[in-house]
Amino acid sequence: MNKKIAQLCPCCSNQSYQDCCEPYHLWQKNAPTAETLMRSRYSAYALRKADYLVKTWHPKTLPSKLAEEISEAKWIELVIHKSWDSQSPNEAFVEFTARYRNSQGKAEKMHEISRFIKHDSHWFYVDGKFI
């Protein structure tokens, strides 16, 4: 008997990947909040889903060398510190820390406040400020 074992989602939600970020990666539904988009984007980095990252990155700030960034790091953990809306209903922020191993295997962490914009019922990552 070969049962499919539910894999925990890389976004550290303690849910299975199938119940958490996979529906977003498969375009079965849109992320309802900036924090949900942040989690699904982290999982996309961890699973090397460049197409999802490109489509959820605001076109005005999309980097030209995204593929290189994705292939170099091994993402280990995501901690969401807080998320909040700005005074505009179409802008939100998420503060998080992401731990990863770089291409040389050295453990590193990234602490950032990311900015997201909602356009036509879709959230997009715009940019971030490192803390």
Determine the pLDDT at residue 122. Answer: 96
Report CA Rg, the chain. 15
pLDDT at 1: 43
Q: What pLDDT sits at residue 2?
A: 44
- List the pLDDT tens digit at each of the 131 positions of the chain: 444 567 999 999 999 999 999 999 999 999 999 999 999 999 999 999 999 999 999 999 998 877 666 777 899 999 999 999 999 989 999 999 999 998 899 999 999 999 999 999 999 999 999 99
Residue 68 backbone phi and psi in degrees, to 5: -65, -40
pTM assigned to the model = 0.92
Domains of the chain: 22-130 (3.10.450.50)
